[in-house]
Amino acid sequence: MTTDLIVTTSSGSYPVVVAAGALASLPARLAALGLRGTLWLVSDAAVATAYGTPLADRLQAAGFRVQRHAVPSGEASKSQDQLWRLYDWLLGAGVERRDAVLALGGGVIGDLAGYAAASVLRGIALIQLPTTLLAMVDAAVGGKTGINHPLGKNLIGAFHQPRLVLADTETLASLPRRELCAGWAEVIKHGVIRDAGLFSELEQLAAEQDWGAGGFRGWQSADARLTERLTAIIRRAVAVKVEVVSRDEREQGERITLNYGHTLGHAIEALTDDWALLHGEAVAVGMHAAARIAVAMGLCSAELVARQRRLLQAYGLQVALPHGLDPEAVLAVALRDKKVLAGRIRWVLPTALGSVVVRDDVPEALVRAVLAS
């Protein structure tokens, strides 16, 4: 048993649980929260079969009424069309304000179902049940919900803090290796921006495991001791997000540091549908570019860039801009980012491991040069 992490904001407090087998405790935790209305369980098609059915059975056996809905897998589901389908389902089946939405899946489900919970009947309770590494470490914690717009990612949404986040690391055993590797980008990011010790722990683990050129081999190849260690590392990374969100719920200050690598990462995602780049893969490219910008501006050492690059690659991530992607197009999309202020991109740039600054004076010519090379 581990002590729950606690997010404390102006909207209230809620626990964040990171543990193997955590989903088994969901009925008791919902009862302790006083949530006895209908539970609206949302997942994608793959997760619905693997985890949705047994979870629904467990909840029903505990006396809860459960309604289920599955959406197609993939980033394309973070759309107005899928949001309206959720509204039709919820409203058509008689959702009430005492009810709760359970978001079971990755970041797409957490964002989409979370926004539905934030807006239907002007807001009902939300429970985040992340089943991907990326969602556990980042998307499920902090209350950001929303959908994409043709002009960019996550441009429509709302802050809606969950009542509980329950991350069961046993679900990671069923993830494809590529999705696991994409999630490690967010773990590494938290080491760079705030926890140098976490970064060093990740380096040490990679050195001990000797994963080879392909990087991280996945949960399936891990023994009990390694899975316990990986769970502890994930929890440490989640603790970074919990601390930052508790200090800055609505991204008015230091929460912007969590967007390290995301300014260019989101732009790359928006332009690489044909390559089907995963979020974490795009963020890894954005982190490498941001670190190189920081070196060019005299903010950090070249050694930091090298260590970050080696660690990203050790966990199966690439740092090169996808072949054929136009740097001018990347920059143009980045300028539409929701964190742009007065026409200037606010860049999160490293100064040392565990420390970053926010700058809005990065010359566009420098960004072009870094992207082009």
Please confirm, yes or no, whether 160 is among the known catalytic residues: no
Mean pLDDT of the chain: 93
What is the average pLDDT across 41-67?
Answer: 96
DSSP 3-state assignment of 46? helix
Based on the fold, state whether residues 143 and 246 are members of the same structural domain. no
Identify the pLDDT of residue 250: 87
Please identify which of the residues 251, 288, 292, 309 carries the catalytic annotation. Answer: 251
My answer on whether 140 and 251 are in the same domain is no
> 32 with 112, same domain?
yes
143 shares its domain with 183: no
CATH label of the domain that carries residue 161: 3.40.50.1970
Q: Is residue 122 annotated as a catalytic residue, yes or no?
A: yes
DSSP letters for 282-324: HHHHHHHHHHHHHHHTTSS-HHHHHHHHHHHHHTT---SPPTT
- Among residues 129, 147, 174, the one where a domain terminates is 174
Mean local confidence (pLDDT), 155-177? 94
279 among known catalytic residues: yes
149 labelled catalytic: no
pLDDT digit string, tens, across residues 130-163: 999 999 999 999 999 999 998 878 889 999 999 9
CATH of the domain at 219: 1.20.1090.10
Q: What percent of the chain has pLDDT over 70?
A: 96
Strands 164-168, 12-19: pairing kind = parallel
Higher pLDDT, 239 or 227: 239
In this predicted structure, what is the pLDDT of residue 272?
82
Q: What pLDDT score does 338 carry?
A: 62
Domain final residue pick, 156, 174, 192: 174
- Indicate the number of domains in the chain: 2
In 3-state terms, what secondary structure has residue 21?
coil
The question of whether 339 is a catalytic residue gets the answer: no
Query: What's the pTM?
Result: 0.93
- Higher local confidence (pLDDT), 251 or 243: 243
| Candidate list 75, 179, 186, 269, residue with the active-site label | 186
161 and 244 co-located in one domain: no
User: Which member of 154, 163, 259, 309 is catalytic?
Assistant: 259
Domain holding 267, by residue range, is 177-372
Per-residue pLDDT at 339:
67
> For 337-347, how does the pLDDT look when each residue is reduced to its tens digit (9 = 90+)?
766 766 788 99
Which of 68-82, 97-111, 292-306, 328-342 is predicted least confidently?
Answer: 328-342
My answer on whether 159 and 195 are in the same domain is: no
To the query of whether residue 154 is one of the catalytic residues in this protein, the response is no
Domain end among 157, 174, 191: 174
190 noted as active-site residue: no
The verdict on 214 and 276 lying in the same domain is yes
Q: Give the tens place of pLDDT for each residue, 194-217.
A: 999 999 999 999 998 877 667 787
Q: How confident is the model at residue 276 (pLDDT cuts 50, 70, 90)?
A: low
The verdict on 24 and 117 lying in the same domain is yes
CA atoms within 13 A on the CB side of 213: 0
> Do 151 and 292 fall within a single domain?
no
> Which amino acid is residue 189, in one-letter code?
K
Is 229 designated active site?
A: no
Rg over CA atoms, the chain: 20
- Co-location of 141 and 184 in the same domain: no
Q: Quick one: 187 and 170 in the same domain?
A: no
Q: Is 233 helix (H, G, I), strand (E, B) or coil?
A: helix
Shortest CA distance to 205 belongs to which of 215, 214, 213? Answer: 215
Catalytic residue among 262, 288, 292, 339: 262
Find the catalytic residue in 153, 189, 190, 255. 255
Whether residues 254 and 362 share a domain: the answer is yes
> What pLDDT band is residue 251 in, cutting at 50, 70 and 90?
confident
